[in-house]
């Protein structure tokens, strides 16, 4: 806690001087927490406690951006079914990548029929326990029930970690909402789309068919209305909670559709303007080759298939600004800014390469790392700071701050 408080930006840190009394007060609050609160991230808890103590609001983002020294990070140990030591380290993702498949295979064998169901199309499997205990030889092992998205249905499985279970279940529960509510949601979406659908479809055509865009908007709508905005966040454990969210979410459907369509229109229109500007360079692009290639790769990463759903909140709303930043960069590049552009690109390149490699590892391991995903969008904010300062950034960012965060994440993951 002391390292987190001391790591705050000066504008916030001055409210907590001297630091030790605030650390003592927070430790006291920690000792009084119940089991439910203990599941919350330290950044959320510390933000709340500091505001209670001083009235000063400390955004959780300010805490999650702090780079902690290695000795303060969690050390993990892997043992087998007989309790024998296998491996230890602070790089959780590497441990999960190395041992996760073996653990998952063992759980499948031990799970029994209850957590080996496929083809589920409604919540008919009772309450979803947060953890279950399975017997493995002489040992008892905790496993984590999950609802998995199987396309037109969902499946029940046991997964080796709580993080894997929570991330997988987000997709599975979303699918259950989609199955139950699709007809009514599509009717509302079609009604709202009617005046602008042709224009949206034409602007989206270079990215994919119109059905893909419709599905992206619909899926993101379900995510925002029935998962993200409701008490408890992404977690739904019972059929009763599921039905409560359905009832609570309906009033938000139409306003959310309107906002998502407006955002989508802004994204696609800005992308179209950028594409036209980049297309005009083709006859003479050799002079700016590396920079233009970097812009093209950035565009592919910003707008993949399903770009709305694949861009998490709160970053989704910033996509138009990132695209405008690319247009500003292109204008500066072609108006005498080549050397400055190359220098900034060289500074950013190590973080880009590390992030790209780490994201590939994350996708291969099946483990979602929210901090790494955030880092990917901190890179976008840093691009704004480097290439389009006039557009302003949404967070304090610099090459130095980004590099420190990369080092911290390298130790943690």
Quick: pLDDT tens for 336-363: 899 999 999 999 999 999 999 999 888 8
Q: Is 234 helix (H, G, I), strand (E, B) or coil?
A: coil
pLDDT-derived band at 161 (thresholds 50, 70, 90) equals confident
d(CA 319, CA 326): 11
pLDDT: is 44 or 260 the higher one? Answer: 260
Q: What pTM value is reported for the model?
A: 0.74
Check residue 124 and give its pLDDT: 94
Average pLDDT, rounded, for the chain: 87
Residue 168 structure tokens? 């997988």
pLDDT: is 6 or 366 the higher one? Answer: 6
pLDDT-derived band at 163 (thresholds 50, 70, 90) equals confident
Q: Where are the alpha helices (DSSP H) in 194-337?
A: 197-204, 210-222, 239-279, 289-302, 307-310, 319-333
Check residue 378 and give its pLDDT: 97
200-227 per-position pLDDT tens digit? 999 999 999 999 999 999 999 999 999 9
Check residue 327 and give its pLDDT: 97
Q: Does pLDDT of 366 surpass 60?
A: yes
CA 132 to chain centre: 27
The percentage of the chain sitting over the pLDDT mark of 90, rounded to a whole number, equals 51
Check residue 269 and give its pLDDT: 97
How many CA within 13 A on the CB side of residue 304?
A: 5
105-118 per-position pLDDT tens digit? 555 555 566 788 99
Strand pairing report for 132-136 and 139-149:
antiparallel
How many CA within 13 A on the CB side of residue 269?
A: 9
Q: Is 137 helix (H, G, I), strand (E, B) or coil?
A: coil
Q: Where are the alpha helices (DSSP H) in 130-238?
A: 162-193, 197-204, 210-222
Mean local confidence (pLDDT), 83-107: 67
Q: Does pLDDT of 171 surpass 70?
A: yes
Q: Does pLDDT of 121 surpass 70?
A: yes
Q: Does pLDDT of 98 surpass 80?
A: no
pLDDT-derived band at 42 (thresholds 50, 70, 90) equals confident
Q: Does pLDDT of 47 surpass 90?
A: no
Check residue 160 and give its pLDDT: 83
| Cα three-residue angle 267-268-270, rounded to 5 degrees | 65
Mean local confidence (pLDDT), 136-158: 85
């Amino acid at each position: 806690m002391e390292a987190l408080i001391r790591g705050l930006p000066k504008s916030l840190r001055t409210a907590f001087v001297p630091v030790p009394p605030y650390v003592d007060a927070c430790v006291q609050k920690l000792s009084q927490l119940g089991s439910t609160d203990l599941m919350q991230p330290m950044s959320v808890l510390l933000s709340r406690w500091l505001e209670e103590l001083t009235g000063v609001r400390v955004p959780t983002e300010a805490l999650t951006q702090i780079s902690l020294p290695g000795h303060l990070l969690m050390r993990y140990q892997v043992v087998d079914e007989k309790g024998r030591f296998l491996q230890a380290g602070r790089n959780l993702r590497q441990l999960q990548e190395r041992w996760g498949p073996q653990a998952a295979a063992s759980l499948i064998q031990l799970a029994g029929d209850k957590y080996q169901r496929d083809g589920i199309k409604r919540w008919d499997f009772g309450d979803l326990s947060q953890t279950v205990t399975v017997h493995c030889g002489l040992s008892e092992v905790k496993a984590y029930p999950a609802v998995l998205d199987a396309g037109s249905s969902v499946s029940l499985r046991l997964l080796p970690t709580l993080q894997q279970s929570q991330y997988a279940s987000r997709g599975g529960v979303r699918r259950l909402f989609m199955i139950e509510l699709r007809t009514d949601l599509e009717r509302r979406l079609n009604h709202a789309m009617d005046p602008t659908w042709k224009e949206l479809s034409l602007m989206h055509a270079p990215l994919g068919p119109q059905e893909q865009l419709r599905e992206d908007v619909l899926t993101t709508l379900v995510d925002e209305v029935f998962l993200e905005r409701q008490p408890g966040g992404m977690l739904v454990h019972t059929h009763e909670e599921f039905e409560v969210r359905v009832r609570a979410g309906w009033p938000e459907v139409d306003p959310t559709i309107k906002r998502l369509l407006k955002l989508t229109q802004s994204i696609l229109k800005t992308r179209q303007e950028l594409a036209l500007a980049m297309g005009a360079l083709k006859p003479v692009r050799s002079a700016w080759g590396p920079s233009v290639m970097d812009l093209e790769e950035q565009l592919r990463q910003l707008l993949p298939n399903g770009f709305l759903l694949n861009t998490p909140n709160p970053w989704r709303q910033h996509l138009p600004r990132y695209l405008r930043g690319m247009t500003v960069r292109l204008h500066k590049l072609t108006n005498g800014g080549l050397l400055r552009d190359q220098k900034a690109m060289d500074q950013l390149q190590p973080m880009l390469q590390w992030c790209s490699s780490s994201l590939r590892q994350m996708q291969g391991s099946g483990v979602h790392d929210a901090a790494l995903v955030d880092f990917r969008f901190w890179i976008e904010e840093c691009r704004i700071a480097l290439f389009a300062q006039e557009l302003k950034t949404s967070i304090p960012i610099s090459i130095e701050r980004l590099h420190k965060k990369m080092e911290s994440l390298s130790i943690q993951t």
